[in-house]
Structure formats: structure tokens, C-alpha cells
């Protein structure tokens, strides 16, 4: 549950931001000093009281928000959620080394809504998670699968995520949001059959998901042993980590990854796109800002009919009918022109044998 790491004497601005592993960025400082180093995102709130940084994504009214928090000197660190953009209203779930507790409190008023008494040591990493939806919040601590407390009647103030530090230096790492109101396991979550086979690029499981890295201007693929059937639902959380990049869910693919379909989010063109791998033909697009932030993508296929949904919209944003490719084949992931991270990759109605 606990891991000791010495906190660096100072954050270094020359360390790549990818050292801070998150799918909810980029984080922007509202108050205080925030910089990434090789340990994560470091907040310095010494003599400043509470300081905040706002995440780069907006959320639905439900979801799961997790992170690893480490307090360097006596103080507190928190995950902020269901907040307004300037983080003056909303909720914060924190660890407090002075009071010795995990607690949920309201931004602005400071009213404590729930509390779990436990020793919080400085210089140790603690995993904290909040699952929220329907006016209720469950707080998990230390990697446990049962909440340390639940709160009901907790209506949010907005759709923003954030981070909070108080009274010193704090390190945040592996900060992740999922639209699923189910506590995820640490690491890459998927019900797809192993092994996953790379076709180009570099693929690695990380604490926030499966990361694909490509050469400049290149498409790379990672294929599961799962084979999609005539009708299925395929969904995941995707983050394009590079300007001008793209990330996609692949289905009905050949083992060589030279034919099949891709449903992608394209950061350069700001579109959701359905396209064929064999000839790069575009079957449909939907214009929306992609940015470097999390999107939930879902493919619903029924025979030759293919629907693509984004960010839990009730209606499909792309609909196409195409019979140029067989209705079986492998499911997989695709990254283009940089880095992409995939999390909570799930198949429904797929053949996982």
C-alpha cells in the first residue's frame, strides 16, 4: 500500500511532461507553483495556503477519478472533481497528514461531508479514488476495493477536475478519469483476450493505460486475440498525447493489420472519423474539438451497419453502411503520429476465444 520515495528538492521545468502520467491533462495552475519532474506533477503551496490546478478535460455527471498522492511536508493533498472552472466550488477528496484522515469536503465553504481516520505519513505514496454519480460519492483509499465512506446528496458545481495542495510540497502521479462509475484496477483495464500483438511502433502497459508510440507520420497497431462477431459493441477511453496525432479503435482487422475498419479521434483535423484501413477511404466524419484530452469512443456494429458514438452522446455521430470487408476479424488499437493512451477497453458481444 505504501511506497517511500524521496521528494526532489525542486521541480525541474526541463523534464518532459510525460513523466507525469495522466489522461486528464494538461493541468493549468490557478494558484501556486506547479511543475512536472521525474516523480510526477509537483505542487508547492508553502506559505500560500490552498493551491489549485485545473485539469484539461471536462467530465460527465458520473465517473471515477483516481490518483497517487504524496505529501512532502506536513499538509494535505486532494483530488478535485465536479467543480467549476476556477475550482472555487465543487468537491475535494484529500489525504491530510496533520489531522490524520481521508476526507471529502466542499470547495468554498470547507464543509466536511465525510471522513475516515487513519495515519497519513509524509514522504509516502497513497492511492485515492472517488466514484461519483447520481448525487452520491464513494471514497476509496490505499488501493482498497471497498469504500472507506459514502456520501449521498452531493450535487456537483460543474464538470471540471483538478488537484489541490495545502501547506507545502505535494507530488501527484497516475491521475486518471474514467466515465465509468466503477472503480478500475490500477494499470490497463480491458476484457480483451491476450496476447496483444504489436504491428509497428512501441506499446507499453502503464498505470494509466496502454500507451502507443509511433514514428513521425506513421500508423501503428496493437491487435488483441479477440475477434469481433457480426454484431458487437466496442468502447474505450482514448487520449491523443501529441499535437497532430490520432488514436483509434480497430475492428474486423486482418492479422497483418492491412485491412479492417478504424474509428478514430483526429487531433489535427478535429474530427471523429470512421475509415477503412485497406484504402484509407473515409466513411464518415463528425467535427468536434479533440485537443489533448480524454474522449470516450464507442462503436456499435450490426452486420454492415456501423455507428460511432463519442463522449457518451445519446446519438451516433457517424453512421455508415459498408460491405467491402468481412464481418469477422481481430479487434485492436491504433495510434498515429506520436503518442496515444487507451484505457477501459471493453468488448461486448465479441468472440474472446
**What pLDDT was estimated at residue 163?**
97
Which parts of the chain register pLDDT below 70? 1-18, 183-186, 312, 349-353
**What pLDDT was estimated at residue 188?**
80
Q: Which three cell numbers stand for residue 1?
A: 500500500
Q: Which three cell numbers stand for residue 139?
A: 471514497
**What pLDDT was estimated at residue 349?**
66
Rounded Cα gap, residues 96 and 74, in angstroms: 8
**What pLDDT was estimated at residue 351?**
47
**What pLDDT was estimated at residue 2?**
39
Helix, strand, coil shares of the chain, percent, nearest 5, are 0, 55, 45
3-state secondary structure of 17: helix
With 0.75 as the threshold, say if the pTM is over it. Answer: no
Are 38 and 15 spatial neighbours (Cβ–Cβ below 8 Å)? yes
**What pLDDT was estimated at residue 119?**
81
Side-chain-facing half-sphere of 162: CA atoms under 13 Å? 30
Rounded Cα gap, residues 271 and 264, in angstroms: 8
**What pLDDT was estimated at residue 135?**
87
**What pLDDT was estimated at residue 7?**
55
**What pLDDT was estimated at residue 320?**
97
3-state secondary structure of 30: coil
**What pLDDT was estimated at residue 353?**
37
- 3-state SS, one letter per residue, for 274-306: EEECCCCCEEEEEECCCCCCEEEEEEEEECCEE
Cell numbers 482487422 correspond to 253
**What pLDDT was estimated at residue 335?**
98
Amino acid at each position: 500500500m505504501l511506497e517511500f520515495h524521496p521528494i526532489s528538492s525542486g521541480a525541474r521545468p526541463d523534464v518532459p511532461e510525460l513523466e507525469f502520467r495522466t489522461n486528464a491533462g494538461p493541468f493549468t495552475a490557478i494558484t501556486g507553483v506547479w511543475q512536472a519532474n521525474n516523480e510526477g506533477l509537483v505542487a508547492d503551496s508553502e506559505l500560500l495556503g490552498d493551491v489549485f490546478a485545473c485539469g484539461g478535460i471536462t467530465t460527465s455527471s458520473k465517473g471515477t477519478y483516481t490518483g497517487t498522492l504524496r505529501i512532502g511536508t506536513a499538509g494535505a493533498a486532494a483530488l478535485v472533481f465536479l467543480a467549476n472552472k476556477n475550482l472555487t466550488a465543487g468537491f475535494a477528496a484529500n489525504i491530510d497528514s496533520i489531522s490524520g484522515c481521508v476526507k471529502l469536503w466542499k470547495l468554498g465553504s470547507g464543509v466536511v461531508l465525510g471522513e475516515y481516520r487513519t495515519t497519513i505519513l509524509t514522504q509516502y505514496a497513497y492511492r485515492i479514488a472517488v466514484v461519483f454519480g447520481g448525487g452520491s460519492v464513494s471514497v476509496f483509499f490505499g488501493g482498497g476495493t471497498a469504500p472507506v465512506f459514502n456520501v449521498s446528496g452531493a450535487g456537483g458545481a460543474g464538470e471540471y477536475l483538478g488537484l489541490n495542495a495545502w501547506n507545502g510540497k505535494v507530488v501527484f502521479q497516475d491521475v486518471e478519469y474514467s466515465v465509468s462509475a466503477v472503480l478500475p484496477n490500477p494499470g490497463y483495464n480491458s476484457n480483451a483476450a491476450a496476447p496483444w500483438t504489436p504491428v509497428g511502433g512501441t506499446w507499453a502497459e502503464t498505470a494509466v493505460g496502454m500507451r502507443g508510440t509511433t514514428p513521425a507520420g506513421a500508423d501503428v497497431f496493437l491487435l488483441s486475440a479477440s475477434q469481433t462477431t457480426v454484431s458487437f459493441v466496442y468502447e474505450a477511453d482514448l487520449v491523443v498525447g501529441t499535437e497532430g496525432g490520432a488514436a483509434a479503435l480497430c475492428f474486423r482487422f486482418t492479422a497483418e493489420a492491412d485491412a479492417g475498419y478504424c474509428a478514430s479521434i483526429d487531433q489535427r483535423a478535429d474530427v471523429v472519423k470512421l475509415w477503412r484501413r485497406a484504402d484509407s477511404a473515409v466513411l464518415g466524419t463528425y467535427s468536434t474539438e479533440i485537443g489533448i484530452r480524454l474522449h470516450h469512443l464507442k462503436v456499435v456494429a450490426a452486420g454492415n451497419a456501423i455507428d460511432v458514438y463519442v463522449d457518451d452522446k445519446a446519438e451516433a455521430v457517424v453512421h455508415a453502411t459498408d460491405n467491402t470487408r468481412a464481418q469477422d476479424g481481430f479487434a485492436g488499437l491504433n495510434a498515429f503520429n506520436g503518442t496515444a493512451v487507451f484505457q477501459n477497453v471493453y468488448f461486448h458481444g465479441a468472440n474472446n476465444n
